[in-house]
Amino acid sequence: MDTQAIDLFTPLMMGKLHLKNRMVMAPLTRSRAEQGNVPSSMAATYYSSRASAGLIITEATQASAGGQGYIATPGIHTDAQVEGWKKVTDAVHRAGGLIFMQLWHVGRISHPDFLNGALPVAPSAIAPRGVSTYTADGLKPIPAPRALETDEIPDIIQAFRHGAANAKAAGFDGVEVHGANGYLLDQFLEDGTNQRTDQYGGSIENRARLLLEVVDAVADVWGSDRVGVRLSPGGTFNDMCDCNPQETFGYAVRQLATRKLAYLHLIEPAQPQGEHPMPDLSARFFRPLYPGILIVASGYNRERANAVLKAGLADLVAFGQLFLANPDLVDRFRKNAPLNTPDPQTFYGGGAQGYIDYPTLDAA
């Protein structure tokens, strides 16, 4: 296809899935899960009213109870959670949408309050500096985690495999492995959080091993063409750093490229400010390394999204806050209509307000 002609409204085949446009609803933590970390009874309405997106990616969802680190995040490890998610996938499909589940393990970004008193687990016993989490008793600082033993790592991979199988049972169209934003898989990948001396630490090959083993296990359940991976090269959220991010993430991306996945989803870092230029970790750097479908995310608006598609630097663009506040974002972008303003007060927790009451253009 002539890339000059591609914009947000150009359909795309992702393996056997037909995406009706290039607009992806980014994964968004909303902390509204109910008793037993079952998705909110309002989640079917919330997601299905955004089914005009080419693809919806769910909020991060713990693949195992041990993978939780925030209050009221949903899981996909119990039968009740699978039943809860079925209502969501049914509603999205009835509305003509496609939906992938984001599978998550927070690693060190947790607290004993979520883990029956146990310490969070991580590649190494390094606490995130300046990071707290909301528990049932309010905001608490995150303690230093416990380093996973080598012989515990198969259980982590198994947790992702189990979550992937449950996501299939719940009727999703595919799954996204959360390898971004300083959670467990990112903690293994980046050298600021990984000081291991076994086969999961040291060299870049070793640090990428868990991510790739998890992706392979999940692909074993789903087929690789139904599996996406999200990475955040150069991201500093959750006190992350890597000394050689182009090498580290370049290796991971090249390895993922050999696996013929549904897509690679990159959160591009904020543009470097001031005197210390950062290495380029935008889609411009990764595009030549990844011939498959590339999603970019990082505060894109309509103009910048169309420009990145037109330049051939990405195939899809994910929108977070804009989809949160505009269920009919696709329609609004088509008409170049004004947008609702997202309200940060209602991003996390609470009820219907700020969740299922943002008006569409028609309703407004």
Interface ranges with ligand 8OZ (CB under 6 A)? 29, 60, 70, 180-181
**Residue (29 or 78) nearer to ligand 8OZ, CB:** 29
- Classify burial at 74, counting beta carbons within 10 Å of its beta carbon; exposed 0-12, middle 13-18, buried 19 or more: buried
Nearest distance, CB of residue 223 and ligand 8OZ, angstroms: 25
Q: In whole angstroms, how close is the CB of 122 to ligand 8OZ at the nearest point?
A: 16
Q: How far is the CB of 182 from ligand 8OZ (least distance, A)?
A: 8
Residue in 15, 99, 13 with CA at minimum distance from that of residue 49: 99
Identify which of residues 181 and 326 has a Cβ nearer to ligand 8OZ in the complex. Answer: 181
Q: How far is CA 264 from the centre of its chain?
A: 11
Residue with tokens 């380029």: 280
Alpha helix positions (H), 196-354? 204-207, 209-222, 245-257, 283-286, 302-310, 321-325, 329-335
Residue 327's nearest CA partner among 362, 291, 283, 279 is 362
Q: What string of DSSP letters covers 84-116?
A: HHHHHHHHHHHTT--EEEEEE--TTS--GGGTT
Residue type at 322 in one-letter notation: L
For 131, phi and psi rounded to 5 degrees? -115, 130
By C-beta, is 20 or 32 nearer to ligand 8OZ?
32
Identify which of residues 53 and 60 has a Cβ nearer to ligand 8OZ in the complex.
60
Question: Which C-beta is closer to ligand 8OZ: that of 8 or that of 106?
Answer: 106
Please say if 47 is a catalytic residue.
no
- Minimum gap (Å) between residue 6 Cβ and ligand 8OZ: 28
Annotated active-site residue in 46, 47, 183, 358:
183
Q: How far is the CB of 159 from ligand 8OZ (least distance, A)?
A: 17
Query: Quick one: which H or E segment has residue 316?
Result: strand 316-319
Residue 234 phi, psi (nearest 5): 75, 5
Tokens of 314: 């990405």
Provide, rounded to whole angstroms, the least separation between the CB of residue 347 and ligand 8OZ.
8
Structure tokens belonging to residue 70: 């925030």
Tokens of 249: 């993430």
Q: Find out whether 19 and 98 touch, Cβ atoms under 8 Å.
A: yes
Q: Of 324, 246, 320, 321, whose CA–CA distance to 278 is shortest?
A: 246
Closer to ligand 8OZ by CB, 52 or 181: give it: 181
Q: Are strands 294-297 and 316-319 parallel, antiparallel or unpaired?
A: parallel
| Nearest-approach distance from CB 180 to ligand 8OZ, in angstroms | 6
> Which is nearer to ligand 8OZ, 11 or 299 (by Cβ)?
299
Contacts of 361 (CB under 8 A, 6+ apart): 328, 331, 332, 335, 337
Q: Which residues are catalytic?
A: 183
